[in-house]
Amino acid sequence: MKYEPLPQDGHIQKIGFGTWTIGGESTADRAHDARGLAALRSAIELGYTHFDTAEMYGAGHCEELLGAAIRDSRVPRDGLFITSKVSPEHLRSAEVLHACDASLRRLGMDYLDLYLIHWPNDAIPLEDTFEALNRLCANGKVRHLGVSNFDLAHLKRSQALSETPILTDQIQYSLSERSYIKDGLLSYCRSNHILLTAYSPVKDGRATADPVLDEIAAAHGAGVYQVALAWLVQQPGVITIPMSINPQHQLENLQAADLELTADELNRLDRIGSSH
């Protein structure tokens, strides 16, 4: 497993575990709790230490399930990196503080390693939001701050308002989705020591139906999804958070971080991806 060094201290898994749909989507769905818990437990057993969730996922139920799975595992808290996100409708200062406390309560934890603004909301001043986020960092409830789905202009404003360095911008980024990258976001993140977290790295398989990808996967004895993930995490400053409830797929995703693509293969993947 490869790790990305954090700009301040420590490191984070290049391939973490996303939790969207575990516990429900926009509302709680408890009918599949056993399946969700089993997926989280197998991920922990396989060696995932970086987990990404949000108060929006299952209206908080995902956080409850993740907390339960971690307690069951008896993995030390300081060996994990837990990310959650505040929803865009909760970005007023007092609501941010309340949302963070609620996430911590559902997770059964004293602090978050990373707390993100899930989506920008131009109806609420970022100054108000960061007043609360900065306070959460100062009182130890949050160790790192970041944003999600922020374009370059929103990211720059966040940098100016955050009293601690912005750790990451979490965006949709894959072989088939490059819109934020074309805006110069990745190069800006690299020059400012901000990690780019790619979500939906193999969404819908759109980028994996290509003969070049098939050829590269066959050359490595790997799956096409593994190659798509390896293309992401071989990029400096890029990490990703795929999700699967299937233990075999979880393992294959984790192992993709150790797949070494050649410079020529990376260039060929760049070219096929830019055509999607």
| Cα 132 to Cα 94, 115, 187, distances in angstroms | 7, 12, 29
Which pLDDT value is given to residue 183?
87
In angstroms, the CA 186 to CA 168 distance is 11
Indicate the number of domains in the chain.
1
Mean pLDDT of 241-269: 97
In this model, does residue 223 exceed pLDDT 60? yes
Residues acting as catalytic residues? 57
Which pLDDT value is given to residue 272?
84
Between residues 73 and 207, the one the model is more confident about = 73
Mean pLDDT of 190-203: 94
Task: State the chain's mean pLDDT as an integer.
Answer: 95
Which pLDDT value is given to residue 43?
98
pLDDT tens digits along 24-47: 999 999 999 999 999 999 999 999
Q: Is residue 152 part of a domain?
A: yes
Which pLDDT value is given to residue 207?
56
* Confidence class for position 204, pLDDT limits 50, 70, 90: low
Residue 128: exposed, middle, or buried by beta-carbon count in 10 A (0-12, 13-18, 19+)? middle
Q: Is residue 224 part of a domain?
A: yes
Q: Is residue 4 part of a domain?
A: no
* Confidence class for position 273, pLDDT limits 50, 70, 90: low
Q: What is the CATH number of the domain that holds 54?
A: 3.20.20.100
Q: Is residue 2 part of a domain?
A: no
pLDDT tens digits along 123-137: 999 999 999 999 999
Q: Where are the beta strands (DSSP E) in 164-222?
A: 166-172, 195-199
Q: Is residue 105 part of a domain?
A: yes
Print the domain residue range for 252.
11-274
pLDDT tens digits along 63-106: 999 999 999 999 999 999 999 999 999 999 999 999 999 999 99
In this model, does residue 176 exceed pLDDT 80? yes
* Confidence class for position 275, pLDDT limits 50, 70, 90: low
Q: Is residue 3 part of a domain?
A: no
| Cα 156 to Cα 150, 265, 274, distances in angstroms | 9, 33, 26
Percent over 90 (pLDDT), the chain? 90
Q: Is residue 259 part of a domain?
A: yes
Q: Is residue 1 part of a domain?
A: no
Mean pLDDT of 46-60: 98
